[in-house]
Amino acid sequence: MRKLMMIIALVPMLNGCATLNTANPTVPLQRITSLQQQADKMLAGRKGVDVYQIQKSLAWLDLAQDEYYDGDRTGIITAATDEAERILQQIKVAANYADMSTPILIGSEKVRDDLWQQSAKLKQSPSVQCGYQDLAKLDVQLVWTGHEYYEAGWSHAKTHSEVADNLAYQAELKIKQCAQQSIALSTNASAGSNVSSNASSNANITQYLLETDALFAFNQAGVEYLVLGGRHKLDKLIATMKAWHSITQIEIDGHADRLGKTSYNQQLSTRRAEKIRDYLVQHGIAANLVTVKGAGTSDPVVSCDQKQSHTQLINCLQPNRRVEFVVHGVQ
């Protein structure tokens, strides 16, 4: 068995550094998070086109939340939040809401015609259900890319465009695999997360690391406490894991710093690992593959001088606040 180690480096995000968006008082953050909670609950157990619609509403809300913290003044925050709410209300009225068209919102413009055409073509596939999650994210990501282009040109939009490329690739891959193998990947995860019966000598063990400061608000756990961009970091990791040929096990270990009571840090590290497991399962990773452990403060990666100020100490100990993923399978 060969061992491959890969660390995903993330830009740390200091807690409390975001400023509230006063330019959009009609769209309080409370409304966005409330709709996110509604959508998360509605997504559980859903099948068919509802998966596309609810995932799309979550993508709209991620866009709105990120732009809210960025202080956007184009009107796209209100428009994205309204669109997410409209979709959720439509599903409540009638399940299997089939309209998969995507409006170009105020503050955005249409870019990447090639990916719009690819999305439309994939939606015509008999196996489209296998790509619903990625197609929903792709459609919103294209609007988001158009927004970044609208604001500051292509250099500003390039990163968002690359995310859209990856989502299009993942959607097409899953739909093709579903068509070829007749496996309903939308309900039992993609081929990349299926248990392999013949791991063989090509098996890999890969480690991924996410700093919890880049995921959760300080001292919090849960999807509703994901900080700016936290969902996108998890979504990117999920897409990476789903690209594996097969997966036999995913270990999730939560870690905390030494500040506060040991018992509390143990509980917090466990809760965060559990919440991330739940998020992975909701987004197509088979639950039977995932194991969770909270390590508390038992495995620090850095030590810091206790004589530092409290703020300096929090910043210094940041690498210890992390979640480690160990993935077993064949890439």
Residue 113 is predicted with a pLDDT of: 95
Where do the domains of the chain lie, and which CATH numbers do they carry?
Answer: 29-188 (no CATH), 192-330 (3.30.1330.60)
pLDDT digit string, tens, across residues 88-118 = 999 988 877 888 999 999 999 999 999 999 9
pLDDT digit string, tens, across residues 215-255 = 666 666 766 666 656 777 788 888 888 888 888 889 998 88
Tokens of 172: 């097409």
pLDDT digit string, tens, across residues 275-289 = 888 888 888 888 889
pTM for the predicted model, two decimal places: 0.52
96: which residues sit within 8 A by CB, 6+ positions away?
48, 49, 50
CA distance 11 to 324: 16
pLDDT digit string, tens, across residues 183-197 = 333 334 343 444 333
CA distance 252 to 327: 9
Reported as type and span, the H/E element at residue 81 is: helix 76-93
